[in-house]
């Protein structure tokens, strides 16, 4: 009797473990992470980080930690505006930031001394290099798949 119960529980555990694998591989969101510092390179705690999508109206907010770090996760792919503000500093704004599926975009923000009414718009694009992971990701259109399959079929030995 105990053996049947053990086998049944083992089978159930195996089903649960293997059922979880496909869910892990199907990432459909992106993340924004970063570090907020002052002009001297010291961490700025409690800076308000706001990530918004003008096209969808989605807004997510967080605050930087005691070490200046922040993370906004599970963002749908799209174009975003990112603003970082703290009393006593000028607001930094990154506009037209594109996030793609599976991306973990890093923003290291240096806030300038000033008033909150001053806005510093960062026109330089944040680096596209992924510094938080060694993964390489991208999107492939159905047309690219068809074209590459034709090339591979034509060039492969018979």
Cut 0.75: pTM above it: no
114, 89 Cβ separation under 8 angstroms: yes
**Burial of 36 by CB count in 10 Å (0-12 exposed, 13-18 middle, 19+ buried)?**
buried
Do the domain assignments include residue 52? Answer: yes
User: What residues have CB less than 8 Å from 89, skipping those under 6 apart?
Assistant: 38, 44, 47, 111, 112, 113, 114, 116
pLDDT of residue 27: 82
Half-sphere exposure of 74 (CA within 13 A, CB side): 2
Do the domain assignments include residue 14? Answer: no
The CATH number given to whatever domain includes residue 54 is 2.60.40.1120
**Interstrand relation of 91-99 and 30-37 (parallel, antiparallel or unpaired):** unpaired
**Overall number of domains in the chain:** 1
**Burial of 68 by CB count in 10 Å (0-12 exposed, 13-18 middle, 19+ buried)?**
buried
**Interstrand relation of 59-63 and 69-75 (parallel, antiparallel or unpaired):** unpaired
Do the domain assignments include residue 94? Answer: yes
Do the domain assignments include residue 11? Answer: no
pLDDT of residue 26: 77
Q: Could you tell me the two tokens for 98?
A: 């594109």
pLDDT averaged over 10-residue windows placed end to end, the chain, 158 residues: 62 60 70 96 97 95 97 96 94 94 94 71 56 56 63 56
Do the domain assignments include residue 32? Answer: yes
Assign residue 41 a region (left: φ > 0; alpha: ψ between -120 and 50; beta: otherwise): left
* Helices first, then strands: H and E counts in the chain: 2, 8
Do the domain assignments include residue 19? Answer: no
Do the domain assignments include residue 147? Answer: no
C-alpha to C-alpha distance for 158 and 153, rounded to whole angstroms: 9
Do the domain assignments include residue 60? Answer: yes
Nearest to 67 by CA among 86, 41, 93: 41
For residue 99, the enclosing domain spans 28-138
pLDDT of residue 131: 54
The rounded Cα 97 to chain-centroid distance in angstroms is 11
């Amino acid at each position: 009797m105990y053996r049947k119960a053990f086998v049944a529980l083992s089978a159930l555990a195996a089903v649960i473990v293997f059922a979880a694998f496909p869910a892990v591989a199907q990432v459909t969101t992106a993340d924004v992470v970063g570090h907020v510092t002052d002009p001297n390179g010291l961490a700025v705690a409690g800076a308000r980080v706001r990530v918004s999508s003008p096209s969808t109206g989605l807004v997510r907010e967080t605050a930087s930690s005691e070490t200046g770090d922040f993370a906004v996760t599970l963002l749908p792919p799209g174009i975003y505006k990112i603003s970082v503000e703290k009393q006593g500093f000028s607001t930094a704004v990154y506009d037209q930031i594109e996030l793609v599926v599976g991306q973990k975009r890093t923003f290291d923000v240096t806030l300038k001394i000033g008033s909150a009414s001053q806005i510093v718009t960062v026109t330089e694009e944040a680096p596209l290099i992924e510094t938080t992971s060694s993964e390489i990701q991208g999107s492939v259109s159905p047309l690219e798949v068809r074209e590459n399959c034709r090339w591979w079929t034509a060039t492969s030995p018979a």
